[in-house]
Structure 1
Amino acid sequence: MHASDDHLSDRGGSPPRHILTPSSLNRLVRDLLEDALPLVWIEGELSNVARPASGHLYFTLKDAGAQVRCAMFRPKSGWLKFKPVDGMHVLVRARVGLYEPRGEFQLVAEHMEPAGEGALQREFEQLKARLDAEGLFDAARKRALPRYARRIGVITSATGAAIRDVLSVLSRRWPLADVDVLPVPVQGREAPPAIANMLRKASASGRYDVLLLTRGGGSLEDLWAFNDEQVARAIHASAVPVVSAVGHEIDVSIADFVADLRAPTPSAAAELLVPDASALRRHLQQLQQRLVMLEQRRLQARIQRVDHLLARLQAQRPQARLARDRERLLHLQRRLLGIQREQSQRLQARLERVQARLLAQHPRLRLLLLRRRLAELARQLRESMERRLERERLTLQQTARALHAVSPLATLDRGYAILFDAEGKVLRSAKHVAEGTPLRARLADGELPLSVVRDKPTEQ
């Protein structure tokens, strides 16, 4: 609302140049807040959590000294992986704004996560990135596990469920292995240094073929000892291969990345560490059967070789050699006769071809062919001359008709005449022709002698 001009004049002051309304003031404050604090992270306790039918989420974020109203709109409110409830400690990323209808300061949340888990997760990602950059996760440095481990050191809690599962699987699969339980705390502040120290001792002892670092499942906080940097470096420095089996299959720790092999569960790790004795027994039985079969095949091969040598020895007797030579001689005779017949047939066919060629080259036959060729050429010459003469005759007739059409003689046929003087020149003009000059008139059927006679003019 505007202040009245009368009221301003009564106070003796001049009217302001710009008058704000509550709406414009709210917009100004909102712009100032959004420009000063575009995006912030806030940690606090949830209260007054409400989710109406619209799907938006409204709540208050507070600590011991203050509170602030917050809103989280769809679809981001539907992306939350947990259900916000009153009293929960959360970490919120939000934009600072102003709810203009009420003129109230508020936060517009874009992301929310449980406060403890979110902080631990960020610390986990930072340590993972740093150790990866140093090469502690390099696949090229990871070592293969011994195929038949004789001594195994299990670093875990002596009272946890994980060690019972591991010992049960190891005793069932490979009872020949010596398994030492190396007890350490696996949770709490004292766990990381104890685990790292046990790793160093077990590695330096030279007693173990492989080490298993394991514990059962739990929350991120419960498994945090296996995300410690000193534990990761102790695994990396171990002189023997280290297998990591921390938590359940979905749990991943820094120890899993550094270890030479990561197993999804403690039981799975035990299965990876040792072979299955029953499967190995079956494999040995198969090898034994295969060995017996190979020996039988070798014996059969030697028997066949002896039989072959006996057959060769019998084949070397004189009677057998004479029989083979006689058979070979008969074979060569049959082959020689066949070659002779084949060669005779080829020579006969060649002789017939030569005779045919000689007959084709005989002089009488060539003279007869040449006479026929000459007669044919003479006939072609006559026909060609007749066709040429006919063409020339037609051409001459056409030329004569064309010449006759333009000849002066054709004009004479129409009653005209041509005059010649005494010298035989064509008279073209009557001028300068004296009287009595002899002339000749050429008509269509002959010539007439003429003399020039000029008419005398009559007197008036």
Structure 2
Amino acid sequence: MKQLDLSFEEPQKVRRIWPVRKLVEHVCEQVEQEFADIWVEGEVSNCRPAPSGHLYFTLKDADAQLPVVLFRRQALLLRFKPQDGLHVLVRGRVSVYAQRGQLQLVGETIEPVGAGSLQLAFEQLKERLKAEGLFDASRKRPLPTFPRSVGIITSPTGAVIRDFLNIVGRRHAGLTVIVCAAAVQGESAAGEVESALAQLNASGLVDLIVIARGGGSLEDLNAFNSELVARAILASKLPVVSAIGHETDFTIADFVADLRAPTPSAAAELITEAQYRVAERLELQTNRLERATRFQLLHARQRLEIIPLGRSERRTTAMLHRLGQQLDDFGFRIEASVSGLVRDRQRAVDELAADVLHHEPRQMLGRMRERLGVGETRLERSLERTMRRWTARIEALDGRLRSLSPLAVLERGYALVLAEDGAVIRSTTQVAQGDRMRTRLSDGEFSSTVDGVVRKMKRKE
């Protein structure tokens, strides 16, 4: 009987040989499936942007490190610039760079740990622009003391523009305000503000520019923390006032602008301050001049009563000739004043007509015309009464009235020196080297700076 051979030979293992490319691709597929969307925390090191726009760095901790790449599209969306030593969270997918057989993290976004991305971007841009000298006080330009026209960049529908116009109208009605509409929030805001600055500079219609918006969060004010707006303010040929947010809000635009106003309302007060002060002082001086004139008239009447009759007739004739000329001069002045008032009224009517186009123009225009007609009638009557009163008073004036007039003193070569705040300079003790002052002459005034002070020594008794 034939015996069966029950022994088995161990099967020989089949050797599988992997090409490098296939193996790397297989590993890459497995890794990308397992780690398709993860967050990794670590410290940035060896950060280097490439000319292509891609961003490369290494994410590390105490025990390991991982190469990271952000491609150009993702890198452009970052709100801050990654730097070595920065502690961050990176979201992305794990992959293998086949050419090197190297594990890497393909990032989608980066968030700083411990600080918001907007705040970090703000601090980084602030330090960089400060190092370039954009915040230096030496490059800040003074605002024009008496601007004729101001351009404001803001939203035309917000409360900011209404408050601004109300304050300007109350303090300096003659100031022209040109509104250049721009978005003050959102992705397009920075570009629109830059375009508005360029338009106002090229127009030649304004003396200074105000950038204004109300308060908000850091995200709301982000347009004014952009380098685009900062460079546009720097390039402006006209002085720029930044009036953004509340008093506690600070933006990059505030640091670059020639003047920062705490609020838009404060900006309106700042640019009208000089005109407002001049109007106040002019009213005060007018009241003082009227009181002095009344006193001189009373004094002249008393002296006239004691002058002999013959001498009085000759002096009266000469005085009447002089007063006739003065009366003509007053008539010319009043006529010019009336023409100016009529022009101002007409300009006001034109502005109101443009404004009421959105608020029942026919009714409001009819009411304004009625008020204008009444005002003109009252003005004419008031001028007639004033002429009669002045004619009666002038006929009683004495020749000394003109010689005592402050303007006549100036015409003889004297001058009135005023400090920068409007105070009259009566002594050398009121000035010091470097002070700014204004000198009033009969036909105008000019500004000057004190180069030196020489004080007259008092004689000893």
TM-score by length of 2: 0.40
Larger radius of gyration: 1
TM-score by length of 1: 0.40
